[in-house]
Structure 1
Amino acid sequence: MDIRFLGGAGEVGRSAILVNDRLLLDYGTKSGTPPQFPGDADPDAVVASHGHLDHVGVIPSLLSGDARPSIHWTPPTREFALTLARDTLKLHGGTTRCPFTETDVQRVTQVSRTHGYRESFEAAGHEVTFYNAGHIPGSAHVLVDDGETRLLYTGDFHTEDQQLVSATTARPDADVVICESTYSDVERGDRSATADRFVESVERTLWDGGTVVIPAFAIGRTQEMLLLCERHDISCYVDGMGKRITEMLIHHPEFLRDADAFRRAKSHARFVTGRDGQRKRIAEQNTAVITTSGMLHGGPAMTYVPAVRSHPTNKITLTGHQVEGTPGRELYETGSAVIDGRSMRVSAQVEQYDFSAHADRAGLLEFLEDYADARVLVDHGDRCEAFAAELREDGFDATAPALGDRIAL
């Protein structure tokens, strides 16, 4: 087996791995100004691990010209990827930030093939099987067998149950493991304790008469927050792309930890239409608002944050990692941020909670315990080489490929 790292090696973003020059695993975007894309590829088939922008963001570009590779994913991943592609077109269509066209996105629907977990299928001459990765609905570990070597591409995964999805439990036999390492230096502690602190903080603000703005990623985090609010009977609205994703997931109950609880959460929340100044009126209510974007890049949060910023009774609760240089990171560290081109001082309380859908260091090591005899290739992280060195000290055959590396197995 031959593997080329076209993206995602030594970095978080633009994941892309080419197997035997024929099968492409993921093809994502690295956010930034300008965004960065993986190396060129002309595969016979594409397999997507899950529907986040850094893993599926530029898949439509593979269908420009005469190329028509088949695309394989779970049903939720297909839905998420198409939604993200259309959103990218809306934001950046016709610019260098968007390397594909509406026609390319339409072609994706023509070559798409969906598969459930543990249902083996053929792609570019390889046997491929998806296993639940516990990251977001439809996320998958990808097992690739070319008849000689069994490769397990972990994708992004979590070893602890979330409100929305169950933890990964699958450990299929593999000769080689390409393992993500996003939080290889983080010991997160008990997730339920984080949820309890979050709920207590939100309830305290509502009791005091304030408004809570909860910036959240549209795919996964918004729905996690909805479930927490329903479970604790917290009045809430939901706004932004998360509304569409929530509607989609109602149709894929088999990819949820508790489909009944999810339906109750959806019914519990009020969905914002955004018409006739509705957002400004909501911001004056004694309620919680779950809204994109998670790092305050844009979206309805650009209305809510300025609306609540002046009163210290109000609160902004960041629910995910804030990348350096983003308005969310600036707000958390300095108490001010550039919102819609204006520098704003925020008197409202600002808090951050780690609801990450990635395994932490303990989770990564727990997962890899079952692969002590396999070769481990560490990717998708800011300290891949350091983590690989630590694994070698523990007796693993581990390395951290560099961007563009070709490895023969």
Structure 2
Amino acid sequence: MDVRFLGGAREVGRSAVLVNDSLLLDFGLLTADPPLFPVETPDPDAVVVSHGHLDHVGSVPALLSGSDRPPIHWTPPTFELALALGRDTLKLHGGTYACPFIHDDLKRVSEVSETHGYRESFSAAGHEVTFFDAGHIPGSAHVLVDDGETRLLYTGDFHTDDQRIVAGTTARPDADVVICESTYADVEHGDRTAIEERFVESVETTLWEGGTVVVPAFAIGRTQELLLVCEAYDVPCYVDGMGQAVTETLLRHPEFVRDPEALRRAKSHARFVTGRDGQRKRIAAQQAAIVTTSGMLSGGPAMTYLPEIAGDPTNKVTMTGYQVQGTPGRELMETGSAEIDGRRLTVSARVEGYDFSAHADRDGLRSFLASYEDAAVLVVHGDDTEGFAERLRGEGIAASAPELGARVDVGSQRRR
């Protein structure tokens, strides 16, 4: 089995792996200024998408701009989320370098879409493929690929611990080779209940003091997780941006959500923002938590709320997700200022970070890979893939960190 790494190798973002020059696993983008796309746009016979986050699915419509239209395989929620992300990208960046496709390409996605549930094997580009619940966001999947000689497990993004929105992964399918994400390979997540309690205490203190809390959050997965937290602790909150539509989408697929009834209650508890007639500026002056996109402050309604609350130290910004290097969110966390809509904004409001990660941490990754000690492990999707691979080798695992653009004969790495 031959594998090429067109993105996501020695970096976080733009995941894209081409198997046997015919089967493409993910085709995302890297959120930066300007955004980065996979190093090559291949012409695959089929595409398989692990989950509906921009860094894994954001460039998929660009594969349909030519005369060949490969089928795209994913779970039902991932299909709908991919369309929503595509529409959002066109709305924000259509006709610019930041958007690698046009409206017609996005329309074609529905024409070639094929959806599958977990543990339902299907054929794609001559390979047998099976999805397993990855415990990352609703619809996220580990992808097992079998070409008749080698069984390759592409983990996608995954979490081994339970979240409110989804349960942690328990799937450990047999595999000869594992392509494993490593986003939090050097981090140990704290106890989730303790993190929730610290977050809620901080928010409630700010509201009691008369302040406003802006909670930047990824629209898919993180927004719903935070709405569930706010409902559970009776924290008054608004939800703004694409996370509103995503919440509706996930409620249409209750079988992919850990507790659909809890999500329905959380939706009813939150107040949805329309954005009409200066509503956002009025809300920014209220004592409430505002859960809003984007999670890295690279666009969305957060760009309106942040300048409104930035000058008052009574207010607060609570970052709740991974901040890619070069994004305004990362800059704000490190320096207390960020470039927002083309101008430098110094933030006097308190800035805090909370680890609501949907990725496995160091211990979670190691416990997952304990089932694959006889397999070859290729480490991707991390800031220090080489360091993590070296640590795994020190524990007796045949691990390596492929370079961006590398071609690897994974069949030759199998342990006989």
| TM bin (shorter chain) | over 0.9
| Whole-angstrom distance in 2 between the partners of 1:346 and 1:387 | 35
**Structure 2 counterparts to residues 38-187 of structure 1, below 5 A:** 38=38, 39-187=40-188
| Whole-angstrom distance in 2 between the partners of 1:345 and 1:37 | 30
How far off is 1:298 after superposition? 1.9
> Is the partner of 1:156 in helix, strand or coil?
coil
Report the CA distance shift for 1:336/1:96 in structure 2 as closer, same or farther (over 3 A). Answer: closer
Match of 1:234 in 2: 235
| Whole-angstrom distance in 2 between the partners of 1:268 and 1:134 | 25
How far off is 1:189 after superposition? 2.4
Amino acid in structure 1 at the alignment position of 2:20: N
**Structure 2 counterparts to residues 215-294 of structure 1, below 5 A:** 215-294=216-295
Aligned residue pairs total 409
Match of 2:32 in 1: 32
Match of 2:313 in 1: 312
> Is the partner of 2:179 in helix, strand or coil?
strand
| Whole-angstrom distance in 1 between the partners of 2:25 and 2:342 | 37
> Is the partner of 2:203 in helix, strand or coil?
helix
Amino acid in structure 1 at the alignment position of 2:250: L
| Whole-angstrom distance in 2 between the partners of 1:77 and 1:249 | 10
| Whole-angstrom distance in 2 between the partners of 1:269 and 1:197 | 20
| Whole-angstrom distance in 2 between the partners of 1:313 and 1:92 | 34
| Whole-angstrom distance in 2 between the partners of 1:138 and 1:182 | 19
> Is the partner of 1:37 in helix, strand or coil?
coil
> Is the partner of 1:17 in helix, strand or coil?
strand
Match of 1:388 in 2: 389
Q: Does 1:404 align with 2:405?
A: yes
TM-score calculated relative to the size of structure 1: 0.97
Match of 1:17 in 2: 17
Identical aligned residues as a percent? 72
Match of 1:200 in 2: 201
Q: Does 1:359 align with 2:366?
A: no
| Whole-angstrom distance in 1 between the partners of 2:116 and 2:387 | 35
Amino acid in structure 2 at the alignment position of 1:36: L
Q: Deviations over 1:145-187 (max 9, x none)?
A: 1111111000000011111111000001111111111111111
Q: Are 2:129 and 2:145, in contact at CA under 8 Å, matched by a contact in 1?
A: yes
Q: Deviations over 1:176-215 (max 9, x none)?
A: 1111111111112212211111011111112222211111
Amino acid in structure 1 at the alignment position of 2:76: P
How far off is 1:13 after superposition? 1.2
Report the CA distance shift for 1:307/1:45 in structure 2 as closer, same or farther (over 3 A). Answer: same
| Whole-angstrom distance in 2 between the partners of 1:324 and 1:61 | 25
TM-score calculated relative to the size of structure 2: 0.96
Report the CA distance shift for 1:340/1:385 in structure 2 as closer, same or farther (over 3 A). Answer: same
Query: Runs in 1 of length 4+ with deviation above 4 angstroms?
Result: none
How far off is 1:11 after superposition? 1.2
Unaligned runs of at least 5 residues, structure 1: none
| Whole-angstrom distance in 1 between the partners of 2:84 and 2:111 | 16
| Whole-angstrom distance in 1 between the partners of 2:323 and 2:203 | 20
Match of 2:339 in 1: 338
How far off is 1:330 after superposition? 2.8
Q: Are 2:216 and 2:291, in contact at CA under 8 Å, matched by a contact in 1?
A: yes
> Is the partner of 1:257 in helix, strand or coil?
coil
Q: Deviations over 1:49-68 (max 9, x none)?
A: 00111111111111112111
Q: Are 2:33 and 2:326, in contact at CA under 8 Å, matched by a contact in 1?
A: no
Q: Deviations over 1:249-273 (max 9, x none)?
A: 1101111111110000001111000
| Whole-angstrom distance in 2 between the partners of 1:10 and 1:176 | 18
| Whole-angstrom distance in 1 between the partners of 2:369 and 2:49 | 22
After the TM superposition, which of the residue ranges 173-182 and 35-44 deviates more from structure 2? Answer: 35-44
| Whole-angstrom distance in 1 between the partners of 2:342 and 2:400 | 43
How far off is 1:309 after superposition? 2.1
| Whole-angstrom distance in 1 between the partners of 2:11 and 2:386 | 11
